[in-house]
Amino acid sequence: MSAPLVTFDDVTMTFPDGTVALADVDIAIQPGEFIALLGPSGCGKSTLLRLASGLETATGGQTQVGTRQIGYVFQDATLLPWRTVRKNVALFAELDDLSAGETRERVDHALGVVGLTAFEDHRPHQLSGGMKMRVSLARALVNRPKLFLFDEPFGALDEFTRERLNDDVRGLFLRERFTGVFVTHSIPEAVYMATRVIVMGARPGRVIGEFAVPFGEERGEAVRYSPEFAELANEISQCLKGAMA
Ligand SMILES: Nc1ncnc2c1ncn2[C@@H]1O[C@H](COP(=O)(O)OP(=O)(O)OP(=O)(O)O)[C@@H](O)[C@H]1O
């Protein structure tokens, strides 16, 4: 087995007001894994992503991340309304001071893989919620992330759009070969997307269960509606219920 890309070793996070968001968290994420993080509200899922991204530093234990090329998408697409789709996608490349030619090449690629090339001159108010999230994904892709953090990106979308975006992210994962950490409240979404599901409990936030997902790279309806899928979702649900009892 290769060295993990992300390691949380005995990590504790206590905020200045005394809130213990995480206690004794041990997680090792191998390159090429797609982890779904599931757990009740307030169990520290977003805090874990913030630690992995370097936005926060844990108050105890060790957090190690083997790359600085990190993509991060949030529930809100956070687009700049006055910029076109292309200019929004180019934002981080501009901040990184990439040359105009390199930026154009990366933006073209990112717009292509999220299927928005035809909309590059639109402004955010002309897009659906799902399209805005695709712009947000493309913007993160421009940095060619080796680690891609998703903080409940599709929670606000209708189920149909969400399922399509789940397939889009799976497609990106298979094509770009990043390592993914995907926070969600949805058990089916977690099972559909992930290679491994990590279940967290609250007060304090900690890992209470891990489930390897036995499905291969090709997912789709046949997997989503299979008895094995329902069985695994049920096991995870029992684990979560145990955490909330
Ligand atoms: N800056 C902060 N100061 C104090 N407490 C905080 C801070 N940020 C988060 N918390 C607390 O830490 C705990 C974990 O928060 P976090 O946002 O990581 O949970 P979560 O599992 O992502 O929740 P949700 O599913 O509702 O988004 C919560 O109790 C939250 O109130």
Q: ipTM of this model?
A: 0.97
Tell me how far the alpha carbon of residue 42 lies from the centroid of ligand 1, in angstroms.
5
What integer pLDDT is reported at residue 185 of this predicted model?
92
Residues with beta carbon inside 6 Å of ligand 1? 15, 17, 19, 21, 39, 41-47, 205
Query: Which CATH topology does 6-69+146-244 take?
Result: Rossmann fold (3.40.50)
Query: What are the structural domain ranges in the chain?
Result: 6-69+146-244, 80-144
Q: Which residue, among 14, 36, 66, has the nearest Cα to 152 in the 3D structure?
A: 36
Supply the residue whose CA is at minimum distance from atom 27 of ligand 1: 41
Pairing of strands 70-73, 147-151: parallel
Predicted model pTM: 0.93
SS3 74: coil
**159 phi/psi in degrees, rounded to 5:** -60, -40
pLDDT of residue 156: 82
What per-residue confidence (pLDDT) applies to 184? 95
Distance 176 CA to ligand 1 centre (A): 31
Q: Is 238 exposed, middle or buried (0-12, 13-18, 19+ CB in 10 A)?
A: exposed
Contact of 74 with 151, CB cutoff 8 Å: yes
- From atom 1 of ligand 1, which residue's Cα is the shortest distance away? 15
CA of 69 to the centre of ligand 1 (A): 25
Confidence (pLDDT) at 1: 63
Cα 159 to middle of ligand 1, angstroms = 26
pLDDT along the chain (245 residues), means of 10: 91 95 96 96 94 95 95 91 96 84 92 92 95 92 93 87 88 91 95 96 92 91 92 95 74
User: What is the Cα–Cα distance from 46 to 182, expressed in whole angstroms?
Assistant: 10
pLDDT of residue 245: 64
